[in-house]
Structure formats: C-alpha cells, structure tokens
Amino acid sequence: MKHLAVFAFLALALPAAAQEAAPPVTPGSVIAAASAEEWIAIAPEDLLVMDLAPDARGNPRRVVIQLMPPPFSQPWVENIRTLAAAHWWDGTSVNRVQDNYVTQWGDVTEAKPLPDGVVSPTTRYVVAFPSMPGPTTAFFPVTGYMRTMWIQQYAVSQVIAGTSEEPNAEIIADAISRQMGDSYALETAILDGWPIGLGRDAEQTEAMWPVHCYGAVGVGRNVAPDTGTGAELYTIIGQPQRHMDRNLAVVGRVIEGMEHLSSLPRGSGELGFYTEEEADLRVPIVSVRLASELADAPRFEYLDTASESFARLVAVRANRNDDFYTVPAGGVDVCSVGVPIRRAQ
C-alpha cells in the first residue's frame, strides 16, 4: 500500500513547504533530513572487503564492494562468494588501469586454478520483466517500488513547480520520459537501491538489467560467448560506457575506498594493462573477504529507494535550484541520481 502513502505525503507535507521561504533544498539537506527508518542495513554477506597493499606513504587502502542482490547476476555473485571464501584473490593484483574506462584486478598469470564449482554461467545478462502494470494499479512485487518511486518523484516535482494537482498516469509517463531520458534503455529506474535499465530484448520480450555507472563492478571476460566467472573484476573509473550494459555482468558497486582504484597510475600497455616494465605498478591484493567472515567488518546502510526522502532526492537532483545552481536541468541521469550509502549509525 506504499502508493497510498505517497498521496498522503503529497496532500499534507508538501504544500506547506512550497509556501514558506525556506533555505534552499539541496541533495545534502534531503539526505540529512531522512529518518532513521528510511535507511536499510546491507547484509554482511553482500559486502566484499578488499585490502590492497598500503600506499607509498604507508596508508592502508581498503575497498568495500556491495554485491548485486537478486534477481540480477546471481550466478556470478555466487562465484564471487565462493572465490572470497577460498581466499582466492589473496596474492593477486590490480593489473589494468585505463583512463576514462576501467581499473581491473585478478590473477595476472591467468593460470591460477579456480575453486570447485566456479565456472562461466550460461545465463543471459538480463532478467525477464513481469508484465508492466500501470502506475496507479495495486502495489506489485517487482515494479511496485519503481512505479511508486516515480509517483513520488513526480509529486515532489509538482510541488517544486508550485502545482499541487494529483498526478495521473499520463502526466507520470510524461514525467518519466522527461526526467530520465536515456540512450541505452527504453526506461531507467532505481530498483531496490540499484540503477537499472528496462527495454525489449531481441525477441521483443520485456527485460531489465543492471547498468554500468561510475564505481559499478563488473566481470571481465574474453570474447563472446565467454561470460567470465567473476575471478577477473573491473570497476568503472570514468564516463560510464553504457554500451557495456547487457554485454557484461554487473555484480556490484564500490561503496567505500573508490579512490584507491580510480587514482592509480594508468597503464601504458594495450587497453591500459601494466607492461612488464611497469610490473611494480601492479598493486598487490592482500586479501578479499566477505564481511560476514570478518570480525571487525564495517557495516553500511543505504537510503530506501522506495522512501519519500529518496523520491525527494531524485526530484532535487533533477531540479537543482540553490545558491550555486540557478538553471535547473529538469532531469537527471540514472547514474547521477546516486543512491546514498553510509556507515551504519
């Protein structure tokens, strides 16, 4: 019944805010105002903790990765849990840093045996999309979150614009297309905390898939039909090359310590691989563990993307209007929404 909560929000909370001369609303102020109940804990078995060798000054370098939840990319995610449990990455290294593209890590010899059961999945990179209900139909297990979010987003936009009429299916559809235009998907959305694309595949079946944003972690592979195992991983360190969507498995995202992967010297070899002459630039990976295996693992939480605060965040990002930004864009890219993630309070 989340969609009903949205309309209550519309009717009660927002008109007052629109009438007062309040300080400018910014993404930061929206996130700070979110209630404790709107934050969702990330399970330790969904966190991968990678410790790189300390930097030249002796500073520790820890990278924390949140693994992709169902229904996306689960065969690779299971491989990754198996590899972490086997401590397979310990002693491997970061081997490739290509500017405006990816940093990639794994076994530079490509000869290290994999644990039992780790094989390249034969599944596709997309999942079937259940029939799309209209935005005002009853709450639906998969699309409900998304549609609810859009209703909320639209509601907030209306209030920002000084309008308070109740949104209907037509203007919501219009708002969706205006606010998240995209070259790579028919529609984009944030589903259960993750940016996704939606569209029709070659067989005209409705499908959805996780998208490559800055910090996304994906599975390196050889030419098709190889799908990779998850032993070789990369993260996006520049403008996301979204044509990778549906062609490579997105298995997670870096949620802390991204700078330890993005600020490394670029490799001068083909595709940004470090050459043998630059072998000393390969950063050693000391260990990779699931947080569930670590006694002192950090705990994280993300802002519920079906919450009112998240809906408000999307609307504010799409309509920045404060001391610095005076020309609102009127839209926001699926990768620029940014799902707030923080250390657990």
256 contacts a second copy (rule: CB under 8 A): no
Please name which of 196, 214, 233 lies closest in space to residue 104, comparing C-alpha atoms: 233
Q: Tell which positions 25-64 bind a second copy, by CB under 8 A.
A: 56
# of chain residues touching a second copy (CB under 8 A): 52
**Window contacting a second copy (CB under 8 A); options: 36-44, 78-86, 307-315, 330-338:** 330-338
- The least distance separating a second copy from the CB of residue 113, rounded to whole angstroms, comes to 26
Cα(75)–Cα(343) distance, integer angstroms: 28
Inter-axis angle of helices 169-179 and 143-160, nearest 10? 90
**Among positions 107, 192, 232, 245, the unique one binding a second copy when judged by CB under 8 A:** 245
Which CB, 101 or 300, lies closer to a second copy?
101
We find the least distance from the C-beta atom of residue 327 to a second copy, in angstroms, to be 4
For residue 259 the two structure tokens come to 């700078």
Q: Are residues 305 and 338 in contact, defined by beta-carbon separation less than 8 angstroms?
A: no
Indicate which single residue of 7, 139, 140, 214 sits in contact with a second copy (rule: CB under 8 A).
214
Pick the closer one to a second copy by CB: 4 or 325: 325
Is 174 among the residues that bind a second copy (CB under 8 A)?
no
CB 211 within 8 A of CB 190: no
The angle formed by the CA atoms of residues 175, 176 and 177, to the nearest 5 degrees, is 95
Residue 287 within binding range of a second copy, rule CB under 8 A = no
262 binds a second copy (CB under 8 A): yes
Look at the chain and count its residues: 345
With contacts defined by CB under 8 A, name the span among 2-10, 31-39, 141-149, 243-251 that binds a second copy: 243-251
CA distance 246 to 263: 27
Measuring CA to CA, which residue among 154, 142, 133 is closest to residue 308?
Answer: 154
Please state the closest distance from residue 35 (CB atom) to a second copy, in A: 26
Q: Which residues contact 338 (CB under 8 A, 6 or more apart)?
A: 27, 317
Cβ atoms of 61 and 54 closer than 8 Å? yes
The footprint of a second copy (CB under 8 A) covers: 56, 97, 99-100, 125, 179-184, 201-202, 213-215, 223-224, 237-247, 258-259, 262-266, 317-318, 320, 323-333, 335-336
